[in-house]
Amino acid sequence: MNIKILGSGCKKCIALGDNAQVAAQEIGVEFDIEKVTDVVAIAGYGIMSTPGLVVNDKVVSSGRVLTPAQIKEILLAA
């Protein structure tokens, strides 16, 4: 499973990255987390507010720091 965190390195992006890691570990699925920091690349995903969360190249949230529980739900559905 490929997880991307979109954000230029703000505190919220780091928090979202940490939460995603926790969620993925709890599910026990194999994953890698990638950070996309370039603004143009971020906008290429069609989001206007960071941080954004992308799972398997699909944008699942933007502008919010989801909790590990919320991310778990998303990952299980993916």
Partner 1 sequence: MGDLLVWLNDQLLRMQWLSDLVTWALQDVLGFDMSDRLAGALHFFIYDIIKIFILLSVLIFSISYVQSYFPPERTRRILGRRQGWATNILAALLGTITPFCSCSSIPLFIGFTSAGLPLAVTFSFLISSPLVDLASVILLASIFNWSIALTYVLVGLVLAVLGGTLIGRLKLESQVESFVFQSPVGDHDNNGQTSRRERCAYARAQVSEIVHRVWLYVVLGVGIGAAIHNWIPQAFISAALGQDRWWSVFVATVSGIPMYADIFGTLPIAEALVLKDVGVGTALAFMMSVTALSLPSMIMLKRVVKLPLLCVFIGIVASGIVAIGYLFNYAAPLLI
Catalytic amino acids?
10, 13
User: Rounded distance, CA 68 to CA 18, Å?
Assistant: 9
For 1-78, where are the alpha helices, taking DSSP H only? 11-27, 39-43, 68-77
Question: Does residue 52 touch partner 1 according to CB under 8 A?
Answer: yes
With CB under 8 A as the contact rule, the residue among 2, 8, 25, 56 that binds partner 1 is: 8
The count of residues in the chain is 78
With CB under 8 A as the contact rule, the residue among 1, 2, 11, 69 that binds partner 1 is: 11
Residue nearer to partner 1 on the CB measure, 28 or 48? 48
Q: Min. distance of Cβ 6 from partner 1 in angstroms?
A: 9
Enumerate the β-bridge partners of residue 52. Answer: 6, 62
